C-alpha cells in the first residue's frame, strides 16, 4: 500500500513540474510574439511619421538657430513682414547665424573692399542676428559679391539666393507659406557705384550710393525679399530723390526678427536718430 502511495505522489510531482515548464515556455513564446508585434508597430509608426513629415513639412527640420516665424506682433513694432514674406509666397532664410562672403575682383580692381565689409558690419550690428567673415576662396563662401559686367552696367544692383533647399510649411497670416532654406546667395553691383572716385551725387549730398545699394541688396540676401513701403528705409525700392542717405532702421530689424522667430530682437519706434 505504501508503495502505491509513493508512486502516486511522485507521479503527481512529476506532472506538476511538466506543467510548470510548459507554462514558462508558453509565456516566453507569448512575450516574444508581443515584443515582435510592438517592434513592428513602432517601426510602422516611425516610417509613417517620417513620411508624413516629409510630405507636409519638407526635409529640413528647424534647428537651434531657426525658430517658427512670427507673423503678428503689436503695432508698436513697425515692420513689413507681409510684403517681405506673405506676398512673396515663400519664407526665405538661412539656417545658421554665421555667414561667409567672398569679393570677386576679376571684373574690376577698383572695387572697394572697405564698402563691402562696412555693409556687412551694418547688418550684423543692427540685426543682432548674424555675424560675417570674409572667405579665402569662392568655394568657402556663403555669399558671393560680384561686379556687373559691361553689359549689365545699367543695373544698380541685384541679389538673391542661387541655391535653396526645401524647409517647413507654415501658416502665416492664414496662408500656407513654404520655407526656402538659403544655402548660397549672390550680390551683383554696378561698378559705377563701387568706384573709389566720388560721384557727382556724392559730392553734392554726401550720399554714398554704392554703399547704400550694397546694404539694400544684402537685406534681400538675408531674407527680406520684399521692399519697405517707407521712403528712407534701406529696403525701399529706390533711393531717396532728395539724396537723403538710407539706413537699416526699425522696420528692417523687426521684419528679420519675425522671419527668424526672434521676439527678443523686436524693437519699438520707427525712425532712427539719423532721420529725426
Residue 169 pLDDT: 94
At residue 256, does pLDDT exceed 80? yes
Give the 3-state secondary structure of the chain: CHHHHHHHHHHHHHHHHHHHHHHHHHHHHHHHHHHHHHHHHHHHHHHHHHHHHHHHHCCCCCCCCCCCCCCCCCCCECCCHHHHCHHHCEEEECCCCEEEEEECCCCCCCCCHHHHHHHHHHHHHHHCCCEEEECCCHHHCCEEEEECCHHHCCCCEEEEEEEEEEEEEEEECCEEEEEEEEEEEEEEECHHHCCCCCCHHHHHHCCCHHHHHHHHHHHHHHCCCCCECCECECCECCCCCCCCCCECCHHHHHHHHHHCCCHHHCCCECCCHHHC
**Mean pLDDT along residues 58-65:** 70
At residue 267, does pLDDT exceed 60? yes
Percentage of residues in the chain having pLDDT higher than 70 = 60
Q: Which residue has the cell 538657430?
A: 65
Residue 126 pLDDT: 93
At residue 136, does pLDDT exceed 50? yes
**How high is the mean pLDDT of the chain?**
74
Cell numbers placing 236: 525701399
At residue 259, does pLDDT exceed 80? yes
At residue 252, does pLDDT exceed 60? yes
Residue 226 pLDDT: 87
At residue 235, does pLDDT exceed 50? yes
Fold of 81-275: Collagenase (Catalytic Domain) (3.40.390)
Give pLDDT tens digits for 153-203: 555 577 888 899 999 999 999 999 999 999 999 998 876 555 544 445 444
Give pLDDT tens digits for 8-51: 555 565 655 555 545 544 554 454 344 434 334 333 333 333 22
Residue 192 pLDDT: 58
pTM here is 0.70
Give pLDDT tens digits for 90-113: 999 999 999 999 988 665 555 578
Residue 19 pLDDT: 53
144 Cβ partners below 8 Å, 6+ apart?
101, 102, 104, 138, 184, 185, 186, 187
Residue 231 pLDDT: 80
The band of 137, judged by pLDDT with boundaries at 50, 70 and 90, is: very high
Residue 156 pLDDT: 59
The band of 141, judged by pLDDT with boundaries at 50, 70 and 90, is: very high
Q: How far apart are CA 271 and CA 262, in angstroms?
A: 21
Residue 38 pLDDT: 37
179 Cβ partners below 8 Å, 6+ apart?
58, 60, 90, 91, 93, 166, 167, 168, 169, 170
At residue 124, does pLDDT exceed 80? yes
Amino acid at each position: 500500500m505504501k508503495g502505491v502511495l509513493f508512486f502516486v505522489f511522485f507521479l503527481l510531482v512529476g506532472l506538476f513540474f511538466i506543467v510548470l515548464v510548459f507554462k514558462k515556455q508558453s509565456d516566453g513564446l507569448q512575450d516574444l510574439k508581443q515584443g515582435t508585434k510592438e517592434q513592428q508597430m513602432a517601426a510602422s509608426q516611425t516610417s509613417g511619421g517620417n513620411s508624413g513629415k516629409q510630405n507636409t513639412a519638407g526635409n529640413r527640420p528647424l534647428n537651434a538657430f531657426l525658430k517658427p516665424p512670427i507673423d503678428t506682433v503689436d503695432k508698436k513694432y513697425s515692420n513689413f513682414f507681409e510684403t517681405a514674406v506673405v506676398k512673396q509666397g515663400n519664407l526665405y532664410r538661412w539656417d545658421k547665424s554665421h555667414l561667409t562672403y567672398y569679393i570677386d575682383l576679376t571684373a574690376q580692381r577698383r572695387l572697394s573692399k572697405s564698402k563691402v565689409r562696412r555693409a556687412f558690419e551694418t547688418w550684423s550690428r543692427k540685426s543682432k542676428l548674424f555675424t560675417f567673415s570674409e572667405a579665402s576662396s569662392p568655394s568657402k563662401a556663403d555669399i558671393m559679391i560680384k561686379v556687373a559686367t559691361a553689359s549689365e552696367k545699367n543695373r544698380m544692383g541685384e541679389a538673391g539666393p542661387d541655391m535653396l533647399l526645401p524647409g517647413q510649411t507654415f501658416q502665416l497670416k492664414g496662408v500656407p507659406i513654404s520655407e526656402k532654406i538659403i544655402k548660397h546667395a549672390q550680390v551683383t553691383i554696378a561698378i559705377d557705384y563701387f568706384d573709389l572716385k566720388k560721384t557727382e551725387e556724392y559730392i553734392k549730398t554726401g550720399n554714398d550710393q554704392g554703399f547704400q545699394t550694397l546694404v539694400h541688396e544684402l537685406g534681400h540676401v538675408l531674407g527680406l525679399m520684399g521692399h519697405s513701403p517707407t521712403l528712407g528705409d534701406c529696403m525701399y525700392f529706390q533711393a531717396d530723390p532728395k539724396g537723403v542717405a538710407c539706413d537699416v532702421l526699425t522696420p528692417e530689424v523687426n521684419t528679420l526678427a519675425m522671419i527668424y522667430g526672434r521676439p527678443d530682437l523686436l524693437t519699438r519706434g520707427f525712425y532712427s536718430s539719423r532721420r529725426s
